[in-house]
Structure 1
Amino acid sequence: MNKLVSYCLLTIALAFATSCGDDDSKLTEMEEYTGPSFESENVLIKLTEATVVKVIMKGKKQLQYQNGDIEFPEGLEVTFFDENGKKTSILTAQKGFKSANENLYRANGDVVVRNLEKEETLRTEELFWNPETKKIFTNKFVTVQTLTDIIPAEGLTAPQDFSTYEFTKPRDGEFKLEDN
């Protein structure tokens, strides 16, 4: 009887050890979490130079990832200021993303940039902003609306205040706006 009990105990111990080993191997096979590390709501970010506000970013929701990337999945508004702190232009988009590796922002979905002084408006579906060069650019289709014209083009580069702009591939034709 002792041999039978010893045999049963050994079998149970081996079964238990084997089942624990399976759990350990499953733990090592689990994928690493790649979702956001932090989530914030109603975000307001101010970028300054020598105590003068240069940029204000607002987002309904901000997700920050372990690699430093930042996402604004519910919209983004970026307000740009000149060297005296005067508002020059406003960029809005349905979504925003910042690549930490490249220090480059991407705005997607109904992107609009308004120059407040000249009352000109840029519209596109994707636009990039480089805070180091203080430039905005895209290779996508754009329209620029001035006080009198709507100008279509493929691609654009401009300073972040949208005071001037250069088209990559201008399209033929301008559309005149008429007063009603």
Structure 2
Amino acid sequence: MKRNIGTLFSGLHVLPSVILAVAIVITACTEEKTDVIHREVDGNSVPTMTTYNVVTLISDSGVTRYRITAPLWLVFDEAEEPQWRFPEGMFLEKFDDKFSAEATIVCDSATYFKNKGLWRLDGDVNVLNTLNEKFLSQQIFWDQRSRKVYSDSFIHIEKSDRIIEGYGFNSNERMTTYSINKPSGIFPVSDFKGRRDSTAGADSVRPVSETPAPVAAGKATEAKSVPVNSARPLRKAGAKPLRPQSPKLEKNVMLDQATLRTDTFVKKK
């Protein structure tokens, strides 16, 4: 009898080890394997955010300064040089302290370099200031830190009484005080009336590859010039307007000292 009891307890000592071994085998069989794939993403070509039909409010020191309307907004925060891109055009309004528009900008494409606070506007760039003066060029830079606007490209300026053309200009960001680096001509507005080509867009400009007329020191040279509106338009015929009409998605974004914060999304019918 004692022998049988000893044998029984001896078997009980082995039982926990057997149960543990069986549990390990069952767990190993039922545990799912997860394969982790590490994929490198090029921050220069893959955007961290994509937004369609956006209306964006941008503030500086808590005051709303700009409103951007664009069909497509790409944010590249992981790029070597962080930037925003508006490849399908942009309409920008700049406001004063009373939320009145100081200037408006329309362009075929735009890039904003965040670390530099620099805008590069490309294509048919059309700027309108508070004096109702129009500036047309193929490329314009806007440095928000220095509050300067400049370009090395051909510039066409339409004032109330005359047209000014040249190559390269510098201006304040309100586009009210400016100078042309190489003026090529000053023309009365009457010279341009009745000479508009119906096939040319209102904001088309001549190619920047044209050679400017010689300029006398301190005085612009009166030179013959093809009206800016007679040039071949850069936009394709039938292209959609740069200012989106009744955007489907409205996104309000407040930017304060390079800090981006999304406030609201409003779905419009």
Considering Cα pairs closer than 8 Å and 6+ residues apart, tell me whether 1 or 2 has the greater RCO.
2
What is the distance in 2 between the residues matched to 1:35 and 1:50? Answer: 30
1:157 to 144, 165, 170: 170
Report the equivalent of 1:129.
142
TM-score w.r.t. the length of structure 1 is 0.75
Report the equivalent of 1:52.
63
1:22-101 equivalences in 2 (<5 Å): 32-33=41-42, 34-49=45-60, 51-65=62-76, 66-67=78-79, 68-101=82-115
Report the equivalent of 2:118.
104
Report the equivalent of 1:5.
none
Q: CA deviation at 1:80?
A: 1.0
Q: CA deviation at 1:32?
A: 4.1
Report the equivalent of 1:3.
none
Report the CA distance shift for 1:122/1:56 in structure 2 as closer, same or farther (over 3 A): same
Q: CA deviation at 1:51?
A: 4.3
Report the CA distance shift for 1:107/1:36 in structure 2 as closer, same or farther (over 3 A): same
Q: CA deviation at 1:99?
A: 1.6
Matching of residue 177 in structure 1 with residue 192 in structure 2: no
What is the distance in 1 between the residues matched to 2:117 and 2:59? Answer: 16
Counterpart amino acid of residue 102 in structure 1: K
Q: CA deviation at 1:108?
A: 0.4
1:148-169 C-alpha deviation (Å, 9 max, x unpaired): 1110011111122211211122
**138-147 vs 128-137, greater mean Cα deviation:** 128-137
Which blocks of at least 5 consecutive residues in structure 1 are unaligned? 1-26
What is the distance in 1 between the residues matched to 2:170 and 2:48? Answer: 34
Q: Larger strand proportion, structure 1 or 2? A: 1
Aligned to 1:174, what secondary structure does the other structure show? strand
Which blocks of at least 5 consecutive residues in structure 2 are unaligned? 1-36, 195-269
Q: CA deviation at 1:50?
A: 5.0
Report the CA distance shift for 1:71/1:50 in structure 2 as closer, same or farther (over 3 A): closer
Q: CA deviation at 1:83?
A: 2.7
1:118-139 C-alpha deviation (Å, 9 max, x unpaired): 1100000001111222221111
1:49-77 C-alpha deviation (Å, 9 max, x unpaired): 45432111221101111222110011011
**150-159 vs 50-59, greater mean Cα deviation:** 50-59
Q: CA deviation at 1:38?
A: 1.3
**45-54 vs 158-167, greater mean Cα deviation:** 45-54
CA RMSD of aligned residues (A): 2.1
TM-score w.r.t. the length of structure 2 is 0.52
Counterpart amino acid of residue 57 in structure 1: I
Moved over 3 A (4+): 49-52
Report the equivalent of 2:158.
145
**84-93 vs 30-39, greater mean Cα deviation:** 30-39
